[in-house]
Amino acid sequence: MTQKQPHILPATSRRDFLTKCGCGFGGLAFGYLLGLDGLLARAANMNIDPLNPLAPRPPHLPARAKSVIWLFMEGGPSHLDLFDPKPALEKLAGQPMPESFGKVITAMGTANNSLMPSKRSFKQHGECGIWVSDWLPNIAQHTDEMAVIRSCWADGLNHVGSVCQMNTGDILAGRPSLGSWTTYGLGTANENLPTFVVMADGAEPVGGPKNWSAGFLPATFEGTQFRTDGPPIFHLSPPGSVGEKQQRSKLDLLAELNRHFAADKPEDTELAARLNSYELAYRMQAAAPHAVDLSGESELTKKLYGMDEEPTRRFGTLCLLARRLVERGVRFVQLYCGSNSGWDAHVDLEENHSKHCKASDKPIAGLLTDLKARGLLDDTLVVWAGEFGRTPFNEKGKGRDHNPWGFTMWMAGGGVKAGTAYGATDEIGLRAVEGNAHVHDIHATILRLLGMEHQKLTFLHNGRDERPTINGGEVITDIIS
């Protein structure tokens, strides 16, 4: 009978003993170096259980916000006609853009067409005196709760790349969306619903699911698209002939068989993870339909969101659903208004923006009012943004082209310094010139409000630590209270 070798071979001589000790000292030194780089700390801080990857995790810092509602105005709303009035455009109306502003090549190839002033009237609102145009009279009543960032800029010229960057930080597809990074960093706060939900008011947003993809993160952190008509999630409900008792029995039998199969394979975590996903789907069959069931909402609440009027009914429904989801612990809700580049006003700015402002102004104001009344605005961060703005010069006579060099977005609630106007574009609204806020800065700021440091939120991919803001990003501390 062959004798088994011991797991640790004993030293055969003093020289052999010292050699083995030396190897151990090398391991200690390597551990020290890893500690200097923060690699061991990062791995320990994430503490993701492979059997339950959505388990809640503590943030890096005290969180100001528990949830995010991102109101995505897809297509590029015109900052010049909504939040960033430029009197200089009145003086220069119809003239070529002065050479001092530099050469501009836009997505549609319009280079320095004649400057076009806004037809809207602007007023200062609230105690803060933030300027808002007459296109958004209801949102204007909430300026004292908002931080308006007038100096945003991005890298893309077209919609597909720019929508992708505003969601993932890169104009090229393949990286995780901000909602996925949030889910990866914090886990879930509700075991019966997805933690990252996406809803659109019409056609699928340009680029489709890559905008809420988990990218190189595990697929469990991907966003879930909800429908507003019929069952909220595709293929969630069992056939009508299968009752709840039968469905429960099927899952119990499957779980028993899988446990029996896994009994002698304790190292295999994939099976346990699959069992968890089945159980989540079962719980969602009851929780998700209830979350989107608005029958219990009062008529007064529905009216607040504009659900009693046709122009505002659809987006108002999405805003009310968003409130119901964050009430139930969903961490990241993204609503697309004007899906499939609806705000893209190349031909007739007045007609286009009148339509989309009408559809979104009252619902968004209703959302802010409702969140505040229910005590939810303090820990819910509301973000309003498109993928870029519009040019100060015209296109096709009555429209404006894409402008990623300077545009406006705003945030409210969730630790934001209320009543703040931050940054500025130049005198014609073409480029950000003060307090420039890149997309990476915006993402870093949102993560900070959620209690996460963007530089510490990492995932090892292809031998390198990836993070939400890639190699950039600075927190905009001036808009944090």
Model confidence band, residue 257 (pLDDT cutoffs 50, 70, 90)? confident
pLDDT of residue 32: 46
Model confidence band, residue 241 (pLDDT cutoffs 50, 70, 90)? low
Lowest average pLDDT, out of 37-51, 83-97, 195-209, 456-470, goes to 37-51
- Segment 96-113 shows an average pLDDT of 81
| pLDDT above 60 (res 267) | no
pLDDT of residue 250: 72
pLDDT of residue 44: 42
| pLDDT above 70 (res 37) | no
Segment 145-166, tens digit of pLDDT:
999 999 999 999 999 999 999 9
pLDDT of residue 365: 98
Residue type, 128: C
- Segment 245-272 shows an average pLDDT of 68
Model confidence band, residue 238 (pLDDT cutoffs 50, 70, 90)? low
Say what the pTM is. Answer: 0.85
The backbone torsions φ and ψ at residue 249, rounded to the nearest 5 degrees and listed phi first, read -65, -40
Give me the residues paired with residue 148 across strands. Answer: 410, 421
On whether the CB atoms of residues 33 and 27 are closer than 8 A, the answer is no
| pLDDT above 90 (res 278) | no
DSSP character at residue 181: H
Lowest average pLDDT, out of 40-49, 65-74, 395-404, goes to 40-49
- Segment 331-343 shows an average pLDDT of 95
pLDDT of residue 451: 98
The backbone torsions φ and ψ at residue 457, rounded to the nearest 5 degrees and listed phi first, read -85, 95
| pLDDT above 70 (res 469) | yes
pLDDT of residue 39: 43
Q: Which helix (H) or strand (E) holds 241?
A: none
Residues 6+ apart with CB under 8 A from 297: 320
Model confidence band, residue 444 (pLDDT cutoffs 50, 70, 90)? very high
| pLDDT above 60 (res 186) | yes
Higher pLDDT among residues 312 and 290, named by residue: 312
Residue type, 431: R
Mean per-residue pLDDT of the chain? 88
Residues 6+ apart with CB under 8 A from 185: 57, 59, 447, 450, 452, 457
